[in-house]
């Protein structure tokens, strides 16, 4: 009888605790943070691939055979919105087994620590990305590094380094890492296949290729410009049917959502080539400006 009473007490205690809740880290403030973090209704991109991020910061959810994969975590204050979006689609965030990071800046990695604490997921990044994610501080060779280091975020534990070209099989989903540095030293694009009915498409989560920096940084004075050129070339040559990227306006998300009644506007096998070409145009403008005089560019 005593054992039954104890068991009932423990069950009641567990029920009272309820499901595990997300514990967010301190919010980060920046000029664009509020706009970036506006809520966005989640939606299916194609097949097993879903958008669960905010209006200005991408977070991509992929269904696997036995769990979930997540790409990027937005700002620290984005984590709660991502969690809510996942739940609103009927998925259980606790089934996220892997979180992949495009690059270790506060607006894409800031929410990862909280999401990892909630889910227990393993975080994957490039070799250089692991160093930054594990410390929460940008390295001096990052174009957005500032001496005051105001762009830090909560350090992340259990981060696994993935080599360039490695293919990880996570719960039945094969994810390939493609190193695309320049925007950051550890920038990484990720690709996988998404299928629906009889059609399978290659999805590319292409990392940022923008040449933005902290004040006083010159892309033409270091390796970043050449890295961006090489990374743009790599992305342009990928097998790419669906382009996604860390900022949704880079792949025209809102415009595409207005066209969903006319078919799937996200399927476009030249999108990666266009993305790379536009980025190279921005880089050329930046280098031209650097040759004329020192310039100030807002951190993105």
What is the pairing mode between strands 159-161 and 167-170? unpaired
pLDDT at 297 over 70: no
* Candidate list 51, 108, 124, 275, residue with the active-site label: 108
Query: Which pLDDT band, with edges at 50, 70 and 90, does 81 fall under?
Result: very high
What pLDDT is attached to residue 150?
59
More confident residue, 162 or 296: 162
Cα Rg of the chain (Å, integer): 20
Verify whether residue 103 is a known catalytic residue. yes
What pLDDT is attached to residue 151?
62
Q: List C-alpha distances in Å: 43 to 39, 149, 235, 256, 266.
A: 12, 35, 25, 12, 12
* Candidate list 164, 166, 171, 247, residue with the active-site label: 247
Lowest-pLDDT choice from 92-106, 210-224, 239-253, 285-299: 285-299
What pLDDT is attached to residue 262?
85
Verify whether residue 247 is a known catalytic residue. yes
* Candidate list 46, 124, 205, 217, residue with the active-site label: 217
What pLDDT is attached to residue 261?
87
Cα angle vertex 282, ends 54, 274, to 5°?
70
Verify whether residue 65 is a known catalytic residue. no
Rounded-to-integer distance, Cα 188 and Cα 183, Å: 10
263: which 2 tokens?
């078919």
Rounded-to-integer distance, Cα 172 and Cα 195, Å: 13
DSSP three-state, residue 43: strand
Q: Are 203 and 258 in contact (CB under 8 A)?
A: no
* Candidate list 72, 145, 179, 183, residue with the active-site label: 183
Verify whether residue 34 is a known catalytic residue. no
Over the stretch 94-151, which tens digit does the pLDDT of each residue have? 999 999 999 999 999 999 999 999 999 999 999 999 999 999 999 999 999 986 655 6
Verify whether residue 108 is a known catalytic residue. yes
Q: List C-alpha distances in Å: 185 to 113, 126, 167, 274, 296.
A: 21, 9, 20, 23, 21
Over the stretch 47-79, which tens digit does the pLDDT of each residue have? 999 999 999 999 999 999 899 999 999 999 999
Verify whether residue 255 is a known catalytic residue. no
Q: Taking the model in full, what pTM does it have?
A: 0.91
* Candidate list 107, 142, 207, 241, residue with the active-site label: 107
Return the number of other C-beta atoms located less than 10 Å from residue 261's C-beta: 6
Average pLDDT along the chain: 91
Over the stretch 238-276, which tens digit does the pLDDT of each residue have? 999 999 999 999 999 999 999 988 889 999 999 999 999
Q: Are 108 and 57 in contact (CB under 8 A)?
A: yes
Closest by Cα among 52, 37, 47 to 88: 52
What pLDDT is attached to residue 65?
85
* Candidate list 51, 105, 124, 241, residue with the active-site label: 105
Verify whether residue 171 is a known catalytic residue. no
What pLDDT is attached to residue 8?
38
pLDDT at 169 over 70: yes
Over the stretch 2-19, which tens digit does the pLDDT of each residue have? 444 444 343 344 344 556
What pLDDT is attached to residue 91?
98
* Candidate list 25, 103, 145, 241, residue with the active-site label: 103
DSSP code of residue 206:
P
Question: Could you state, in order of their start, the residue ranges of all structural domains in the chain?
Answer: 26-292
Cα angle vertex 240, ends 237, 243, to 5°?
115
Rounded-to-integer distance, Cα 265 and Cα 45, Å: 9
256: which 2 tokens?
């595409």
Query: Which pLDDT band, with edges at 50, 70 and 90, does 20 fall under?
Result: confident
Fold of 26-292: Metallo-beta-lactamase; Chain A (3.60.15)
């Amino acid at each position: 009888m005593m054992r039954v009473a104890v068991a009932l007490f423990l069950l009641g205690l567990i029920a009272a605790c309820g499901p595990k809740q997300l514990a967010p880290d301190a919010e980060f403030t920046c000029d664009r943070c509020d706009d970036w973090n506006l809520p966005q209704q989640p939606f299916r991109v194609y097949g097993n691939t879903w958008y669960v991020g905010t209006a200005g910061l991408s977070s991509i959810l992929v269904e696997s055979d036995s769990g979930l994969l997540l790409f990027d975590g937005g700002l620290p204050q984005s984590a709660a919105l991502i969690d809510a979006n996942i739940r609103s689609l009927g998925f259980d965030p606790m089934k996220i087994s892997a979180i992949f990071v495009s690059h270790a800046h506060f607006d894409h990695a800031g929410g990862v620590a909280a999401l990892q604490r909630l889910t227990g997921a393993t975080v994957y990044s490039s070799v250089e990305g692991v160093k930054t994610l594990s410390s929460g501080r940008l390295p001096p060779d990052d174009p957005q590094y500032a001496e005051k280091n105001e762009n830090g975020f909560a350090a992340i534990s259990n981060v696994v380094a993935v080599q360039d070209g490695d293919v990880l099989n996570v719960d039945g989903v094969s994810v390939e890492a493609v190193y695309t540095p320049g925007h950051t030293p550890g920038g990484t694009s990720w690709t996988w296949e998404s299928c629906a009915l009889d059609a399978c498409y290659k999805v590319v989560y292409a990392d940022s290729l923008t040449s933005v920096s902290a004040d006083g940084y010159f892309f033409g004075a270091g390796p970043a410009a050449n890295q961006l050129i090489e990374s743009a070339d790599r992305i342009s040559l990928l097998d790419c049917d669906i382009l996604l990227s860390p900022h949704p306006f880079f792949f025209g998300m809102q415009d595409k959502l207005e066209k969903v009644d006319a078919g799937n506007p996200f399927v476009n096998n030249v999108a990666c080539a266009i993305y790379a070409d536009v980025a190279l145009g921005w880089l050329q403008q930046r280098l031209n400006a650097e040759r004329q005089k020192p310039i100030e560019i807002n951190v993105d």
